[in-house]
Amino acid sequence: MRFQLNGTPVEIPSSMADDRLLWLLRDHFALNGPKYGCGSGVCGACVVLVDGEPQRACLMAAADADGRKVVTLEGLGAGHADGLHPVQRAWIEASVPQCGYCQNGQVMTAAALLAANPDAGEDEIAAAMDDVVCRCGTQTRIRAALALAQDKLREGA
Ligand code: FES
């Protein structure tokens, strides 16, 4: 079984095929962007992009990545001049993180949303982002960063 991980073809070791994708990424590939939070699909800390769609890696079987394209936080900025996706640059400019634990899920979910709908309005943003839990209360800065990212994408940054 093989899949593309951050643009590179990789193999799924047969010993990990029954594990969750999150553990394959963290333990085998040493990609620690996606975090283990609830482990039950509720918090969003583990979000990665699978064929461009946000997926909760704590719920997805590693074997289900076979033949697909997986992007983690580590690969999100690939192809951008400074190695940072516009959403990541907006996050830095808006100083979003507090403890930082949920930020992988916030950034990956926001990037997927804006890729699908760069002009997403308040309701669409709420629908996409509200189930990515931040217990520090950074939601106001997350919304500000999303608006900044939308500006950057409109400018082609
Ligand atoms: Fe996957 Fe919480 S760790 S949703």
Separation between Cα atoms, residue 76 and residue 136, nearest integer Å:
24
The angle at the Cα of 47, spanning 73 to 152, to the nearest 5 degrees, equals 50
- Ligand 1 atom with least separation from CA of 59: 1
- Please name the residue that has the structure tokens 């507090």: 98
pLDDT of res. 157: 67
Partners of 5 in the β-ladder: 8, 70
Name which residue sits closest to atom 4 of ligand 1, judged by CA.
41
pLDDT of res. 57: 98
pLDDT in tens, 83-140: 999 999 999 999 999 999 999 999 999 999 999 999 999 999 999 999 999 999 999 9
Average pLDDT rounded to a whole number, residues 42-59: 98
- Output the pTM of the full model: 0.96
Helices (H), the chain: 21-23, 86-93, 103-116, 122-129, 139-154
Q: Taking a C-beta distance cutoff of 8 angstroms, is the pair 16, 62 a contact?
A: yes
Candidates 58, 73, 103: which one to mutate for ligand 1, based on the most atoms within 8 Å of Cβ? Answer: 58
Does the CB atom of residue 41 touch ligand 1 within 6 A?
yes
Closest CA to 1 of 16, 12, 9, 17: 12
pLDDT of res. 156: 81
